[in-house]
Structure 1
Amino acid sequence: MKFKSVQASPSQLLVLVFLFFILLGTLLLKLPLATHVPMSWIDTLFTAASAMTVTGLAVVDTGRDFTLFGQLMILILIQVGGLGIMSFAVLIFIMLGKKIGLKERLLIQQSLNQTSIGGIIKLIRSLFFYSFSIEILAMAILAFQWVPEYGWNRGMFYSLFHSVSAFNNAGFSIWPDSLMRYEGNPLVNIVITLLFITGGIGFTVLSDIWHKRNFKQLSLHSKLMIWGTFIINIMAMIIVFSLEYQNQMTLGTLPLDEKLWGSYFQAVTPRTAGFNTLDIGSLHESTLTLMLLLMFVGAGSASTGGGIKLTTFIVILLSAASFLKGKNRISIARKTIKDKAVIRSLAISTISILFILSAVFILNITEPKPFLHILFEIVSAFGTVGLSMGITAELSPVGKLLIAFIMFLGKLGPLTLAFSLARPEQENIRYSSEDILTG
């Protein structure tokens, strides 16, 4: 009897590899030397999935319930998940002097959301150089804060842990209140935010800036990411400051300088970072609504962050603006955006919204929690943000598994998961066109 070999697509292989590492992380975190207290399989799986997808949602206290070994395993999962499994595989191939084949290049292209395989190995080299250099530099700076406070060993480990967690937009913290104790600390605020903004802007943008060093020569993607990040962060900070200024549970009791630091941090962290210096559950509903939008949009393509991606959001806005102006083409900065990019952006957004609404519907059945709390948790998981209104640990086993799946979906991207399940079809027949009524 003959069996045909099963040929998996790059999308399917990427899904399988991610699942394998989540399960491996679950087994490692389940070891007795990884925890101080007995932990259920679901909580261990949830923690491994949250670390591997660089989300940061936690059902247990990372600093209290995990040993140093357990925390190191979480740190490794964050690093591997943030930079990409295939990126590490390529690094090993390069170190061993082996050739990178077409199949491996396609996998890397899929994992980093690149449009072509050209220059993909060069991008991987840049990815590791920037990542490790930035993380080591940030660790050294944070040590000035935490070594005097906690001693040499703990201070250096805390600096390393939060440096890796922040750059990879994971949001995991040693402390149960995240970074709320440092809400007015300039050093912690500046270093942590610069880490997750840099990690979230995307490695293609960082590489583009490094090699060209002239804004006019940058690619359209890089320009959109830089300007979009700057504008959305400034606007979000102003709105958070205005909405929370008199809230006695958040900014109301703080001096002006700490109000500004708190507004700044809480405005930029929903872009998939997950840390918080203000109590999320005490924010006004208007502020939470803004954060929902920011979490859904997320960071940049080929970055450590999640969400539908900022450029996807910009393309959709430009599409709407072009339609209202009666234009047939979408253009910006004297460049025309390809129709394929527009269709891809609409597909990503539509599939994402459908998954989020489906998950909200299910959790409203299984969890006796307010609608806003559930919606916030789902969008946070999808955007791999890690912010929560405090219901994560109280979720039922079904709720935890669903949130773990949404984190998995958010990290891989809805199109990757859809492509892994769908069969590609060759379009050999072109039918006659006919208009339909819309709107």
Structure 2
Amino acid sequence: MEKIRHSKFYDLFLNTLSKKMVMGFILIIALGTIFLSLPVATYGHTVSFINALFTATSATCITGLTVVNTAETWTPFGQVAIMVMTEIGALGYMTFTVLLFNIMRRHLNLSTQLMVKESLNLEHLHDTKSVTRYVIGLSALFQIVGMILFAFDFVPRFGWSQGIYISLFHSVMSFCNAGFDVFGNSLMGFRNDSYMLLVTTILIVAGGLGFLVWRDLLLYHERKRLTLNSKLTLVTTVSLFVVGFLILLVTERDLSWLPKGTSWINRTVNTLFLSVTPRTAGLVSLPTDGLHPGSVFLIMILMFIGGTPGSTAGGIKTTTFGVLMIQSISQLRGKRDAEFAHRRFSQANVSRALLLIFMASVVIALATLVLTQTEKIPQNFGLEYIVFEVLSAFGTVGLSLGLTPHLTVIGKCVIMLLMFIGRVGIFTTLYTLSRRQVKKNLIRYPEENILIG
């Protein structure tokens, strides 16, 4: 398989797989839109097609940006439809295809295995079956445990039936890093409930860490080692978590604007939650539009970075950020290679990371430019009002400064496209839109340097 990676056959096949993956997500969004357009999905009023499409896109792309209030607009039928789309979008529709094949006791053909390999960012083809079992098993385990833990809090509040339902819904949304809620104001009413916020935080981190990293951690007692990908992911994730938490403690002055009766424990937990949720979760316990400008800027950076490849998170991913940081430090120190954990990154890795950053920046810049022409910025906001929303959509986060409910039709289309690109991936999208062909250069021109910086 590795021998044909750069051949015309593999390139053509990868292009076909990318198109199938994109079409699969589009099919899920289309079906979701149909379900959300049914009268039984809403509380006595009709939701426009564009709003149903926007909600279906946001759910399938595990974002959580909403143009209508989830609790007030969607009935339990509509909410379950959103939950199912979120689950499929988070784990990848190919994972459910493999599950269906296993239930039917059918063997995966080569085409299906390759699609699973690409959708889960696997390195080897023979990992498809084992990793898929881990994805399904771990996801089910985390969400069931999360539902049970939430039930201790929600059942006394809402009763058995409603409490269990809310526990399940919130567990799915937390693990899948989606920002939908059934409370009407996200988690604003739970800022003094440290237990619920901590359980939510754990589920968000678990979902954003990545299935391959979890597999490495669970098999560590047998292998006695972690892969380079897992090591870089863990170091980068912990570093961003600690740095983000400390900066927010400073910029928000330990949430000093909260009521005087708020304990220091609740202030710390809310700050901790605020440092985690921008990593593509979208659930908030504090009003985003009331945060300090420094906090908003930090959140935008965290949304751009996102989570881990092969996880339920979006953004450019922690490994991309980690590779470029290490490469930059190596260059500043005069080193030729980017080294980490007694290994060096290949030039192909560094080039791919640079290309991803560049393409993401171009997409974000173009989307921001369009929205500045179609959307109205309130007097108490500046350009950050739009950039924040763009980064939230691209990073499949779901946080908002208030723009989403007031988007124009063009604005909704731009945000939907951003959410789709953020979930499917820039490279997959480019493969689908392009007619790329591998060409062997028979001539190589002389090398020459130019002035940089």
- 2:376 is aligned to 368
2:109 matches 1:101: yes
Paired residues for 1:253-332 under 5 Å: 254-332=262-340
- Among 379, 399, 404, the alignment partner of 1:392 is 404
* Structure 2 letter corresponding to 1:320: S
- 2:437 is aligned to 425
The Cα of 1:326 is off from its aligned counterpart by 2.1
Paired residues for 1:141-290 under 5 Å: 141-213=149-221, 217-245=225-253, 249=257, 254-290=262-298
- Among 62, 66, 72, the alignment partner of 2:74 is 66
* Structure 2 letter corresponding to 1:436: N
What is the alpha-carbon distance in structure 1 between the residues aligned to residue 157 and residue 143 of structure 2? 20
Partner secondary structure for residue 410 of structure 1: helix
* Structure 2 letter corresponding to 1:382: F
Contact 2:249 2:255 in 1 (8 A): no
Partner secondary structure for residue 367 of structure 2: helix
The Cα of 1:116 is off from its aligned counterpart by 3.4
2:448 matches 1:435: yes
The Cα of 1:111 is off from its aligned counterpart by 1.5
- 1:409 is aligned to 421
* Structure 2 letter corresponding to 1:184: N
Aligned residues: 434
Partner secondary structure for residue 205 of structure 2: helix
- 1:3 is aligned to none
Gaps of 5+ in 2: 1-11
1:139/1:104 Cα in 2 relative to 1: closer, same or farther (>3 Å)?
Answer: same
The Cα of 1:213 is off from its aligned counterpart by 3.5
- 2:3 is aligned to none
Percent of residue pairs bearing the same amino acid type: 35
* Structure 2 letter corresponding to 1:429: N
CA RMSD of aligned residues (A): 1.7
- 1:57 is aligned to 65
Partner secondary structure for residue 436 of structure 2: coil
Contact 2:255 2:267 in 1 (8 A): no
- 1:33 is aligned to 40
1:250/1:269 Cα in 2 relative to 1: closer, same or farther (>3 Å)?
Answer: farther
Q: Deviations over 1:311-356 (max 9, x none)?
A: 1000011111122222221111101111111111111111111000
- 2:24 is aligned to 17
Contact 1:182 1:277 in 2 (8 A): yes
* Structure 2 letter corresponding to 1:152: W
What is the alpha-carbon distance in structure 2 between the residues aligned to residue 165 and residue 215 of structure 1? 33
Contact 1:93 1:99 in 2 (8 A): yes
Contact 2:150 2:167 in 1 (8 A): yes
The Cα of 1:246 is off from its aligned counterpart by 6.5
Normalising by structure 2, what TM-score? 0.93
What is the alpha-carbon distance in structure 1 between the residues aligned to residue 208 and residue 259 of structure 2? 26
Contact 1:272 1:295 in 2 (8 A): yes
Between 1:351-360 and 1:235-244, the stretch displaced more is 235-244
* Structure 2 letter corresponding to 1:137: V
Contact 2:303 2:392 in 1 (8 A): yes
Partner secondary structure for residue 344 of structure 2: strand
What is the alpha-carbon distance in structure 1 between the residues aligned to residue 150 and residue 350 of structure 2? 41
Partner secondary structure for residue 290 of structure 1: helix
Contact 2:254 2:268 in 1 (8 A): no
Normalising by structure 1, what TM-score? 0.96
1:146/1:186 Cα in 2 relative to 1: closer, same or farther (>3 Å)?
Answer: same
* Structure 1 letter corresponding to 2:41: A
- Among 113, 134, 138, the alignment partner of 1:130 is 138
* Structure 1 letter corresponding to 2:393: A
